[in-house]
Structure 1
Amino acid sequence: MRRQSLGFVGAVLALLWALPAAATGCTLGTPGATVRVSVANSGRATMLHLPRGFARPAPLVLLLHGSGGTGAQMLDASKLADTADAHGFVVAAPDAGIAVQKGFVWNIPGVPSVTGKMPGPGDADDVAFLGTVVDWLAANHCIDRSRVYATGLSGGGRMSSWLGCVAADRFAAIAPVVGLRAGNPLASDRRVPDPATCTPSRPVPVIAFAGDKDTTNPIQGGGAGYWQYTMATALTRWADLDACRAGPVQRDLDAKVHEVRYADCRAGAEVIGRITRGAGHVWVADNDAMWAFFARHQRR
């Protein structure tokens, strides 16, 4: 009788193991498709793209739109869904929490948005919301918590920088595009970042992309009140935060792209800036290079 019972249990287990992963896995979307989904009980939504051939748990890339934009527009402009299909990661592209005309802006405390308005206590807490997105996708068996990354354009690049500063426990690496910051400009000298506003709890690998003809967020510094200090200053500050012992090493990757790299950083972090000559305030990221960088890093 015991032998028969064990045989029956074995047969049941074999049947369960043979069920498709989707039966107990992520059911929020269809692999290869992009859908708009409501996020838990947040009252907010995100565009979600599960890659073709989706296998769970997958890495997650949070894609953050620029000021005045939307997640849907950012997903289309970046072509990151195509990169996700090629490499097998999930993309979530939510809308920011502060409505502006036909789009949204991100709430980065202590600095004015592109409207000139300083976010107040009544505005949505975007750091908390993005944490909810991560938790919700993990609870639905869609993503691997140890491989969560953030990128974004312009205001979304500044927001992904802010996540590195204040939510390093959630993100394995960040990749700001025309928007790298390392904390808010210091009130007494806006040419440098305020160290009190960027205190990551762990080393954060950073790869940043920019164009040298960007007049909105100029790599040479200046510009709007939220910008001010140079991209080189931001890279140096991240290298200090990550305790990098080598660099900056500079080289031309090709005729158009120049790279600045800091290495030998604490906990295996890297800090890299890639500048495209002649490019302005657009998505200048090399998506495959971005993913290759992300894939080297996992949150411990």
Structure 2
Amino acid sequence: MLSVLKRAGAMCAAATVMFGTAVVGAEPARAAAIEVGGLSRTYEIHVPAGVTHPSALVVNLHAAGASGREQAALTHYNAVADAHGFAVVYPDGIDMSWADGRGASVPDRQGVDDVGFITTLVSKLVSDYGISPGRVFLTGLSAGAFMANRLACDRADLFAAIAPVAGTVGSNVGCAPSRPVAVMATYGTADPIVPFGGGPMMGRGGASDIVSAPAMVQRWGRLNGCAGPPAQQPLAPSGDGTQTDRIDFAPCAPGGEVVFMRVNGGGHTWPGAPEVLPAHAVGLASRGFDASEESWQFFDAHSR
């Protein structure tokens, strides 16, 4: 099993490089660096042409084994930003991973302060571009989703809404946000890398034990004061072997709406992204919705 997952991780990294050469349309992001905690941390920032004061800032975190540039290519978020006039930033993790608290990565074991890095980066960009502090949002894939959940737990003051895809939190990671954070969480029920049912998993940086997808969504519901039974709405069939249910938790505390995009039969993928990996490695990719456009629409409706 370990060797299969390692091969899948390597294939994921190779695939994101392929995305980087295949995506056309939006202008590329600009590479930059910032000094945080004695380390030079790199990132790519994309602001639509002609836009002086972007309408919002979206932080988009890459998966383990990938980079910010590859995350930009995979998620086509630059094109979404161009269509709606917001800025998007793609930070780079140390050793192509994140210190998300599970202890299953090099930056975790080295004590890298990725919460501090992202916090400092957001503060800089909000100041540089005159972005409203209530219009800062966060998304990420796999290890990037683990990090997104951790950031929302630790810095709920900074992010109005998050949209993690294919990543929860480690069972050892606490979560006590200072205020409600709106959450749109996307998980595939047949994910062969990050188990939908939680428990032990083996990632690029080592073993960890994780909270299940349903438990993660329910946790956010409790933290955000959501009452009443969730409402489930099936999306139209996409003909790709998956079917998505949108599950809304409401009513919730102001600013704390929780939405669960449950991709039945879906794998370890970003819905709407190009499919370049075989299903036996990462599971089925969904065409039922575009996770990039859908997350932006959710973000746009949940400013503070």
Scaled by the length of structure 2, what TM-score is found? 0.76
> Does structure 2 conserve the Cα–Cα contact (< 8 Å) formed by 1:217 and 1:227?
no
- Rounded to whole Å, the distance in 2 between the matches of 1:227 and 1:205 is 25
Question: Does residue 1:86 correspond to 2:75, yes or no?
Answer: no
Select the residue among 205, 216, 222 that pairs with 1:240: 222
- Rounded to whole Å, the distance in 1 between the matches of 2:117 and 2:264 is 35
- Rounded to whole Å, the distance in 2 between the matches of 1:223 and 1:51 is 41
Q: Look up the SS of the partner of 1:92 in the other structure.
A: strand
Q: For each residue in 1:221-262, what CA deviation from the matched residue of structure 2 results, as whole angstroms up to 9, or x when unmatched?
A: 234153433211111110000001133222212222112210
Q: Which residue of 2 aligns with 1:218?
A: 195
> Does structure 2 conserve the Cα–Cα contact (< 8 Å) formed by 1:32 and 1:53?
no
Select the residue among 232, 236, 257 that pairs with 1:250: 232
- Rounded to whole Å, the distance in 1 between the matches of 2:51 and 2:60 is 18
Q: Which residue of 1 aligns with 2:292?
A: 287
Structure 1 unmatched runs, 5+? 1-30, 187-193
Q: 1:105 to 1:138 in 2, by over 3 A?
A: same
Percent of aligned positions with the same letter in both sequences? 33
Select the residue among 123, 127, 134 that pairs with 1:135: 123
Q: Which residue of 2 aligns with 1:63?
A: 60
Q: 1:227 to 1:59 in 2, by over 3 A?
A: farther
Question: Does residue 1:112 correspond to 2:103, yes or no?
Answer: yes
- Rounded to whole Å, the distance in 2 between the matches of 1:83 and 1:227 is 34
> Does structure 1 conserve the Cα–Cα contact (< 8 Å) formed by 2:168 and 2:210?
no
- Rounded to whole Å, the distance in 1 between the matches of 2:142 and 2:217 is 16
Amino acid at match of 1:219: F
Q: For each residue in 1:171-211, what CA deviation from the matched residue of structure 2 results, as whole angstroms up to 9, or x when unmatched?
A: 01000001133xx315xxxxxxx6xx100000010001122
Q: Look up the SS of the partner of 1:119 in the other structure.
A: helix
Q: Which residue of 1 aligns with 2:31?
A: 36
Q: Which residue of 1 aligns with 2:252?
A: 265
1:45 Cα deviation after fit: 1.5
- Rounded to whole Å, the distance in 2 between the matches of 1:210 and 1:86 is 26
Report how many aligned residue pairs link the two structures: 249
1:35 Cα deviation after fit: 1.0
Q: For each residue in 1:45-92, what CA deviation from the matched residue of structure 2 results, as whole angstroms up to 9, or x when unmatched?
A: 111111244241430000000112111111111111111111111110
Q: Look up the SS of the partner of 2:112 in the other structure.
A: coil
Select the residue among 62, 69, 73 that pairs with 1:72: 69
- Rounded to whole Å, the distance in 1 between the matches of 2:148 and 2:299 is 14
Two-structure CA RMSD over aligned residues (Å):
2.0
Q: 1:298 to 1:283 in 2, by over 3 A?
A: same
Q: Look up the SS of the partner of 2:116 in the other structure.
A: helix
Structure 2 unmatched runs, 5+? 1-25, 202-206, 238-242, 272-289
> Does structure 1 conserve the Cα–Cα contact (< 8 Å) formed by 2:54 and 2:85?
no
Structure with higher Rg: it is 1
